[in-house]
Structure formats: structure tokens, C-alpha cells
Amino acid sequence: MLPWGLSCLSALGAVGTALLGAGLLLSLAQHLWTLRWTLSRDRASALPLPKGSMGWPFFGETLHWLVQGSRFHSSRRERYGTVFKTHLLGRPVIRVSGAENVRTVLLGEHRLVRSQWPQSAHILLGSHTLLGAVGESHRQRRKILARAFSRAALECYVPRLQRALRREVRSWCAARGPVAVYEAAKALTFRMAARILLGLRLDEAQCSELARTFEQFVENLFSLPLDVPFSGLRKGIRARDQLHRHLEEAIAQKLLEDKTAVEPGDALDGIIHSTRELGHELSVQELKESAVELLFAAFSTTASASTSLVLLLLQHPAAIAKIQQELAAQGLGRACGCAPAASGGGAGPPPDCGCEPDLSLATLGHLRYVGCVVKEVLRLLPPVSGGYRTALRTFELDGYQIPKGWNVMYSIRDTHETAAVYRSPPEGFDPERFGTAGDDALGAAGRFHYIPFGGGARSCLGQELAQTVLQLLAVELVRTARWELATPAFPAMQTVPIVHPVDGLRLFFHPLASPAAQDGQRL
């Protein structure tokens, strides 16, 4: 029997040997992983692969990306340049930023690249969506959806949108405590999308239940493609199936009613009508996937941008003053004269006050500064960081080869942050950069310096609707309320997968004096 000291030394030696062996195995695995992707370059091209790291076997750099957020991309851009390689969500990725590089990618749709979302997103959204369509199928679907976002359709949406936004702002002012703006904006956006875009007849309880399910769906949209118990993909599939069950009955009823409709009343009606005009009939499954896609397109991004608008206006009171001046000059300075109704301690928004909407697309078109504020919000805090494509063939970008079959992820945020076409530094908040001189600077040659809605064949169809919602919100906020932080300091921003304040942006809202009170003060 060995002495106790020798036994300890022997055990420590065995542990050390095991750790050394494990370390060598990990090092060998990472070396082979790196070699595997180095050898995947297109040997017919003399150009090298972009610089960068492929991370760890299978996981790549996904965990770093999720933890570091926007810092992940900015740090690698500083180290490797505006084109670099990485491995995210199970796929090799070329990350691209800079107006010229992004222009090549966006205008290369169907020729150099095709749309490619992560495998998890493709599984969850389904095969009958605009996001997943390519070639002629994409062109046909885009034509069908365009009717739902035409100017005539927007004109119909504006009064209903204004009523919903006015009611929401009044409920914030009536709240007994702080309002978590991001959560409230998500609930509001979902209600507007479900009722106004989809025309679903949902009471508050049904709407809240469906919104919670949808949020779980969105939270797991970008996950590792592992359909195993407790995985993000499994949770997303469960949420998707629940959504489809909720939507199926409503859509079936809508199809029956729609056969007698002369004109579409909402976006989903528009899709049904446009498809029938082309001699087709959509199945219930296709409509369920189209409905979820419409919700997805409107939900997180619009809620994110709405929250960013509230935050940036709070941080820049001079912008609020300029909006108030512009509204007064247009005869729109007075808000609805009804006093804010009690919110009922979280029982839902107050009822409509009955005041008629006073805004239209034409009216909003005259509010130049409001439009500039919305553009600046979307430039400084774009809701999504970029978009995915897949290389259809090997091509050159910034002196590097982009191999056929690799994913290409163009960066909206990095491109905005590095743009050098504005008269003021890109990191500052300056709505006037989008004045007449600013629009000239963003002419045809420079338009890819500003891409909150993407560009090319896959530019966002709903961009005018999104900007309209933000303009309406800005007007209702500024002429109805003042707001202040309910926390000691402004929150940090999380940027993956959707931009939002980490604490949800907790604010106190206070109603401004009513028109009658203002008249009394002047007397």
C-alpha cells in the first residue's frame, strides 16, 4: 500500500494527464474545424477567404454572438475589417458592412445571392412565406402582398391606427405607476397587427393570450437547429403550433365571409383578393403562415422602433420642442380634449374616447421635422442588425472570395455607424441630417448608407406603414404627454436579436393640460 502522500501525487498526476489529454483533444478538434472551413474555399478563385474565426466545432461563435450582442460584430470589424468570416447558428457566415459592400449584396438578389434565414427561422415560419420564397415565387408573392401596403390601404389604416395609438398614450398617462414601454409597445403592436392588418376579432383576453404565445415564437426564431427536448427550436415549434390552432378557425370564417366582400378590409383580405385575381386560391395552411409572417414583420421591429422613439425623444428634449412648434404651425398642436381614463390597474387600455382622428397621410406628409425624427431613430437604433443571404455562386467582395453556398449577413447597424456622407457625426442624434441637404447627400450613389428597411428586391414592403405608425406615435405623444425616467439612469440597450432596453424602459407619463385648461390659463 502506497503512503498517503504518494497516493495524492499519483492521483494528481492522473488528473493532470487527463486534463492535458482533454486539452490536446480540444485543440486538435478546433484545428480540424478551422482546417475544414479553410479547405472549403473555392479553389477556382485565386482570392483568399475573408479574415476571421470559425469558433468552436459545431457551435462556432454563436454563444459569443448571443452574449456580446453588437459588441461581437464591432470588435471583429475593428480586428478584421468590413468583410469577415464567422460561424453562427450552425452555418458559415460572411459578415458584410459598408455601403458599397452592402449595395453589391442587396442588388445581387437572384444573381449573386438569394435570401437565406437561419434554418430555425425557416422551420418555424414555414415554406409559404415571402421571406423563404426565391425567384419567380418571390416576385409573385411580393406582388400579392404589395396590395396590402399600397397607399390606398394605408389611407384606410391611418384612422384606426391613430385611435389605437391615442388610446394607448392615454392609458400610459393614466397608469398608477411606471410603464414598461417596450412591453407595452409589444402588446400595442400585436393588437394593431392582429386587429387592423389581419382583421381578427379578438377580445382583450384572447389578444393577450395570443400575444404571449407569439412572443415565445419570436424569442425562439433564431436558435440552434436542434429539435430536442427543452431546446429553443422545440419551444418555437410548440408556440407555432399553438398560433396556427388559434388562427385556423378565424381564417376559415374569414374565407367564408370574404367570398361576398367587394373590397378588402384589411391586409389579409388584400392577400386573399390579390391571389384570386391571379387565378389562385390559398389554402388555410398558406394563409396561416402568411398571417404569422405579417405579425412577425410588424411585431418586434415596430415595437422596438416605437420604444427607441420614446427613449431618444426623452434624451433630446429640443426635438420635442421642435415637433411641438411644427404641430402648432400646422394647426395640430391640440391633442384630444378628453381627460385620460383610468387604466384599471392593468385590466387593459381605456375605451375609445370618441374623438375623431385628425391625421391622414397627406397631413403627415406636411410634418417634415416629424418625418426627420423618425428617420433618425431608425438610423441610430435600427430594430434589426442585418439580413441573411446565401451565395448562389462565388463572387468577389472587397478583395475576398465569398464562396458559393456560404451565408452572407449584411449589417445595417455597422453600415449606419460608419457612414461618412452626413454633415454631422453618425454617432450623434441629429434629425436635421435628413433635411433637404441631407436627402441630397443620400442621393442614388449614397442611398445604401441608410438601410433600416434593407434594399433591392427584398426591401421591406411595410416600410411606409412602419414609418406612418412612428409618425402617428410621435404626434400623439408630444401633444398629449410628458414623460420621465422611473429609474436612476437610462438603460443599456440589448441588440440581439432585436434592439430594446434591457429593463424595458420604465417611465412615468403625465398628461399635458387639456385644451380647455390651456384656454383658461390664457384668459
The annotated binding site for heme is made up of 460
Radius of gyration of the chain from Cα atoms? 26
Q: Return the sign of the alpha-carbon dihedral for residues 368, 357, 163, 296.
A: negative
Non-local (6+) Cβ contacts of 67 within 8 A are none
Cα 64–chain centre separation:
21
The answer to whether 419 and 449 have CB atoms below 8 angstroms apart is yes
Q: How far apart are CA 375 and CA 371, in angstroms?
A: 6
Burial class (CB in 10 A: 0-12, 13-18, 19+), 423: exposed
> CB neighbours (10 Å) of residue 176?
9
Q: How far apart are CA 478 and CA 327, in angstroms?
A: 9
Query: Do you know the residue count of the chain?
Result: 523
- State residue 120 phi and psi, 5-degree precision: -65, -40
Q: How far apart are CA 242 and CA 233, in angstroms?
A: 14
Q: Which residues are annotated as a binding site?
A: 460
Q: How far apart are CA 238 and CA 141, in angstroms?
A: 27
> CB neighbours (10 Å) of residue 327?
20
Q: What are the residues facing 390 on neighbouring strands?
A: 114, 407
Q: How far apart are CA 298 and CA 282, in angstroms?
A: 22
> CB neighbours (10 Å) of residue 456?
16
Cis peptide before 497 (omega within 30 of 0): yes
Q: How far apart are CA 443 and CA 320, in angstroms?
A: 28
The answer to whether 299 and 189 have CB atoms below 8 angstroms apart is yes
Q: How far apart are CA 80 and CA 78, in angstroms?
A: 6
